């Protein structure tokens, strides 16, 4: 019996630590920006040597990196942000063109601004939209290279910046992920295996470091009592989010993030509350699969928003989409393999009944915060 009590204490302690770690993940980011990360977005197009580049860069980070005053990077209203981009056009252009480069047959292309800057929201974050024309010298039939060193760790504002590149040049249409380890994309030298690896890792990172999806998965595992329940539930979630992920990423379905993000938070609340209210039997009963499938459809829209590939009919991008999705699935299976045995041990202890509450209450509290925080409020 003492041994059984020790096992109970160890397992419960592990569950409490797990919830503490998850709660820590969802705390608002501190003021020190080096504790945060960002993703830059680049769309590169062209029919010859010259190319056009449209960059989406997080507004406040851009203004800080260009070494502008607080008046510029603390601007919150869109009109003021546009005014600051116009006033500081030279400084912003200088920063971006030193950090983002295009070459043609090994020779640098000359960038010039093309049109006025714009600002648009990605979720609740303002991004500056900058357009550049790159004049490239060389004979027809050459190959381009795209390089990004935007928002490097050395600037101390952020860490682990990635640049998502969508391109339609040199007769190829695809996408790539640039980071500090792989800062340059050479169009003619990029094997398909690189594309698979990049987007597999991106999908894995998105699930592993996306606390809302992890909490949803944990809430489902808490309510699943048998391995069969886990397999069926995970399969329903996978099929559902794969459907909407592919449709949304290909531009067939378009649901605003202002709707998707609060519903994702609501999905976690529903499943976690069901765990709290339930008894020994399956806490969602016959509604488990329909609920999981429905919420899986919503989560798929969230995955697609993170990938930011929306090109209707561009099936050349299918390899990137599938690789990203496989990365999500593999990471999901790893999380299940790590957590479900712990939960099985927990159910064999005398603390099983209240341990469910210990794990579910923080999930409900955090998800409620997300839900209200993500609801767009009129200004």
- Per the model's pLDDT, the better-predicted residue between 310 and 257 turns out to be 257
Q: Which element (helix H / strand E) includes 83?
A: helix 78-87
Extents of the domains making up the chain = 2-30+205-374, 34-187
The pLDDT of 204-222, averaged and rounded, is: 85
Ramachandran assignment for 281, one of left (phi > 0), alpha (psi -120 to 50 degrees), beta (any other): beta
Angle between helices 227-249 and 318-347 (to 10 degrees): 160
Residue 82 to residues 63, 87, 256, Cα–Cα distance (Å): 12, 9, 23
pLDDT of residue 32: 37
Who's near 177: CB < 8 A, 6+ residues apart?
Answer: 162, 163, 164, 165, 198, 199, 201, 202
Give this prediction's pTM: 0.75
Tokens standing for 75? 């601007």
Please return the burial class of 279, using the count of CB atoms within 10 Å of its CB with bins 0-12, 13-18 and 19+.
exposed
Q: Give percent of the chain above pLDDT 90.
A: 29
- Per the model's pLDDT, the better-predicted residue between 257 and 221 turns out to be 221
Mean pLDDT score across all residues of the chain: 82
By DSSP bridging, strand 107-108 and strand 144-148 are: unpaired
Who's near 222: CB < 8 A, 6+ residues apart?
Answer: 272, 275, 343, 356, 359, 360
Residue 347 to residues 9, 93, 354, Cα–Cα distance (Å): 12, 59, 10
């059984």: which residue's tokens?
4
Answer whether 176's CB lies under 8 Å from 187's CB.
no
The distance from CA 320 to its chain's CA centroid, rounded to whole angstroms, is 15
pLDDT-wise least confident of 17-21, 57-61, 104-108, 274-278: 17-21
pLDDT band at 279 (very low <50, low <70, confident <90, very high): low
pLDDT of residue 311: 54
pLDDT band at 113 (very low <50, low <70, confident <90, very high): very high
Answer whether 276's CB lies under 8 Å from 364's CB.
yes
Residue 59 to residues 35, 162, 201, Cα–Cα distance (Å): 17, 16, 26
Mark 246-266 as b/e (b = at least 16 C-beta within 10 Å): bbbbbeebebebeebbbbbbb
d(CA 304, CA 244): 8
Residue 170 to residues 133, 178, 259, Cα–Cα distance (Å): 16, 19, 38
d(CA 42, CA 163): 7
pLDDT of residue 51: 96
Tokens standing for 365? 């509290």
d(CA 35, CA 209): 14
Answer whether 300's CB lies under 8 Å from 240's CB.
yes
DSSP alpha helix (H) spans, 107-146 = none
pLDDT band at 17 (very low <50, low <70, confident <90, very high): very low
pLDDT of residue 5: 52
């Amino acid at each position: 019996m003492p041994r059984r009590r020790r096992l109970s204490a160890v397992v419960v302690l592990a569950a409490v630590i797990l919830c503490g770690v998850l709660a820590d993940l969802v705390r608002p980011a501190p003021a020190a920006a080096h504790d945060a990360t960002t993703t830059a977005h680049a769309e590169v197009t062209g029919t010859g040597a010259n190319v056009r580049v449209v960059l989406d860069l997080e507004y406040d980070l851009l203004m800080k990196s260009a070494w502008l005053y607080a008046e510029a990077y603390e601007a919150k209203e869109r009109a003021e942000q546009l005014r600051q981009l116009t006033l500081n056009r030279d400084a912003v252009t200088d920063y971006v063109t030193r950090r983002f480069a295009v070459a043609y047959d090994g020779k640098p292309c000359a960038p010039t601004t093309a049109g006025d800057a714009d600002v648009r929201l990605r979720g609740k974050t303002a991004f500056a939209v900058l357009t550049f024309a790159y004049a490239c010298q060389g004979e027809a039939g050459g190959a381009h290279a795209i390089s990004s060193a935007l928002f490097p760790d050395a600037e101390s504002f952020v860490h682990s910046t990635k640049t998502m590149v969508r391109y339609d040049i040199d007769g190829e249409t695809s996408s790539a992920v640039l980071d500090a380890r792989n800062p340059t994309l050479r169009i003619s030298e990029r094997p398909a295996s690189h594309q698979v690896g990049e987007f597999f890792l991106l999908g894995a990172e998105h699930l592993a470091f996306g606390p809302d999806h992890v909490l949803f998965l944990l809430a489902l595992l808490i309510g699943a009592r048998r391995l069969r329940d886990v397999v069926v539930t995970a399969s329903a979630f996978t099929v559902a989010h794969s459907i909407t992920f592919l449709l949304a990423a290909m531009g067939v379905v378009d649901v605003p993030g202002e709707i998707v993000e609060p519903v994702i938070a609501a999905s976690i609340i529903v499943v976690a509350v069901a765990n709290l209210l339930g008894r020994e039997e399956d806490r969602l009963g016959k509604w488990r699969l329909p609920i999981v499938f429905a919420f899986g459809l919503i989560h798929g829209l969230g995955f697609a928003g993170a990938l930011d590939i929306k090109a209707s009919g561009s099936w050349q991008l299918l390899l990137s989409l599938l690789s990203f999705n496989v990365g999500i699935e593999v990471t999901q299976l790893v999380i299940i393999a790590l957590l479900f045995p712990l939960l099985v041990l927990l159910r064999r202890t005398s603390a099983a009944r209240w341990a469910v509450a210990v794990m579910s209450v923080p999930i409900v509290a955090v998800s409620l915060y997300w839900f209200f925080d993500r609801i767009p409020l009129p200004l």
